Amino acid sequence: MSASRKRFRDVLPLRRSGDTIAAVQVRPIIAPMLRSACALSLAVLAVLPAPVDAAEDAAPVVIQAPMPAAPPTAVPEMPDLVLLPGDEILIQVYDNPDLERVMRASGAASDFPLIGSIGPLAGMSPRQIGDQITKALADGYLRRRAVTVSVRRFVPRTVAVLGCVRVPTRLEIDPQSSISALQALAQAGGTLDDADQSHMVILRENPRTGVGGEVVPLVRASGAGIPVDDIRLRPGDTIVVPRFDRAFVIGAVARPGPVQIESEKPTSVAKAISVAGGFQRFARTAKVQLLRDGGAQTIDVDAILNGKGGEDPRLKPGDVVFVPESIF
């Protein structure tokens, strides 16, 4: 046997069995190397992906294009949030920064680029304003016209409880929350013993003009003194609680309060205001409201005092004279 063959057999002796060659002995130096190689092979097989049957349909790979930046997010609003004169809003049109505008709500129409007049903004909700602008821009101006209307600043919102209550008061409310009529009456200390609960009303302002234009009864028509329901108040609402034997003068007068009604000496609306100390500086003298039996009558006291005619009704027990105040 040659020397080279002898060296090979010293390293890896072999045994022939038919056509099969098998290793029968591995010297101590070679065995650790083989074990390491086998472990590495198994590790590689473990991380390889499983074979896919060509007959099966492969799941489609969806590549999603990057989304464009979203339009500015509006301030969260209540569905029936209504703007009042003086509220400040920001109008933005997606991808059109030149159309961004800051506007102040009022009872008159406002101008907006490309479309002209919008509004009046006072009395509308931000959603309604956005819908109006979106519809106008769709008429041949812009294809992508996502409009966002957010409120930057609210003017103070108040409700009042006046008349025959323990503590006549004016309450400031959050623009995006609410207060009920019963809650407001409770904060005013409740009604007095001689209050005429069957004729309690809410004098509701027009949000665009700030003048009371609607009278909402607080009790059932039966006069049983049971609230219809816990009516949700709106900004500018005034709860009026009359008194059985007297009339009340409330609002923008020097000394709001009850006025004694005497059968021998009739008391008119103008006289009752005089007894209450006269008008305050910003009183709307031509828009005085006479509340009687759940209804309202507008009295032009300014014309009466200046001799220009006009009806000056005689007051009855339970009547309420409300003098509104200018917003600005």
Query: How crowded is residue 111: how many other Cβ atoms within 10 Å of its Cβ?
Result: 11
User: What is the rounded average pLDDT of the residues 189-203?
Assistant: 87
> With bands split at pLDDT 50, 70 and 90, how would you rate the model's confidence at 185?
very high
Instruction: Report how far residue 74's alpha carbon sits from residue 92's, in angstroms, rounded to the nearest whole number.
Output: 10
Enter the pTM of the model: 0.62
Q: How many CB atoms lie within 10 A of CB 42?
A: 8
C-alpha distances in Å from residue 16, one per residue of 24, 27, 132, 265: 10, 19, 95, 142
Q: Give the pLDDT of residue 261.
A: 83
Rg of the chain over all Cα atoms, to the nearest angstrom: 42
Distance, CA of 176 to chain centre: 5
* Alpha carbon distance 38, 23 (integer Å): 15
Max mean pLDDT among 36-40, 47-51, 149-153, 258-262 falls in 149-153
> Which residue, chain included where needed, has tokens 């009371």?
212
pLDDT in tens, 202-251: 888 777 666 556 788 887 554 455 555 578 898 889 898 888 888 889 88
Asked if residues 121 and 81 have their Cβ atoms less than 8 Å apart, the reply is no
Q: What is the pLDDT of residue 142?
A: 74
d(CA 29, CA 164): 110
pLDDT at 257: 84
Contact 238, 202 (CB under 8 A): yes
- Tens digits of per-residue pLDDT, 246-303? 888 988 899 988 888 877 788 999 999 999 999 998 899 998 999 887 788 899 999 9
| Residues linked to residue 158 through DSSP beta bridges, in sequence order | 172
How many whole angstroms separate alpha carbon 47 and alpha carbon 322?
Answer: 86
Average predicted confidence (pLDDT) for the chain: 75
Domains of the chain (ranges, CATH numbers): 88-153 (3.30.1950.10), 157-323 (3.10.560.10)
Rounded average pLDDT over 10-25: 40
Residue partners of 264: CB distance under 8 A and separation at least 6: none
Question: Residues with Cβ < 8 Å from 121, sequence gap 6 or more?
Answer: 83, 87, 89, 103, 104, 105, 106, 110, 129
Instruction: For residues 203 and 297, give the distance between their C-alpha atoms in angstroms, rounded to a whole number.
Output: 12
